Structure 1
């Protein structure tokens, strides 16, 4: 089954935004594709062309700088869950990403895609909201905006990021300073490989 007419692999963010502008709403960004490909096959979403971010330099990297963390658009759930600094200093995010789907889905699926897809079952996005994370977004006119993750959701499956004209290039948040406590809990019918009924991520900062 053919789901698109053209597939592009840009090597820079500028090339990616230029492709979106060239196709004027007929192209759509794809990162891990674990949700988008299903949506295209079931016709929940449409795209004549796909712009794949996997070759764009730097988008698959995790950066620590000045007590903040930046996660590129192609950083996967597996990368986050296996990052020793994140496991040690930001356990709520590590726990959330470890809970996502199967190993195959964690290896392919991206945290940024989890946000853009805007589904209530998004484990990683729940933790990002608890961390007061922000999304850095660039559009096809190369205009940038920064929005709190919590403000991106308009409804189930409806994000304020338009992936036919915008790219969520990076997620950023401050590393919690001790003393603090955090937890991620997931309620589902089975312990694994099922969508959650409820996700809860909590971060509590304590006065020293």
Structure 2
């Protein structure tokens, strides 16, 4: 499977490394142009190429959007129609500026992403794990202490696709529910970046009130 990346920072490049190891190819992009990604592509190897955000969106069978939240309006819309989009974004007011709907809890970052991409199937994932941990905290499938990562989304088929992908790189996955339920593992919650198994993760998610 070919996976597109809009954003090639710490999360993007680490997820790219892991999915390549799982047998996929990747198309990387950033806001500065593909020529600035030559070193990264060389590091990732022959299964990686670099292009524009528009082309990465068009070429990817799944597309990972991993940019600062303030850059969401620049994410291309038309090439992502009908596609599964993994949203890794978190809200940091000191970086993104204050967004009233997020401050008052009436919506979530991934619901904003879905509003921007109304014909895409947005799944919130990889926002509650440090980039380095994606490589270092993967465990075998049969280990009872295997780290569990939460996801959220409104489309069952898209969530199944993302679950399969995350499991293939070494993690259990817990479906926390609809996109709105993604608030339970955003930054500042007990479940955020918790290195825990499924049972403990469920307990932490329950501590977030909405």
Q: Give me the TM-score of the superposition, normalised by structure 1.
A: 0.32
The structure with the larger Rg is 1
Q: Give me the TM-score of the superposition, normalised by structure 2.
A: 0.31
Higher relative CO (Cα under 8 Å, sequence separation at least 6) belongs to 1
Q: Larger helix proportion, structure 1 or 2? A: 2
Q: Larger strand proportion, structure 1 or 2? A: 1
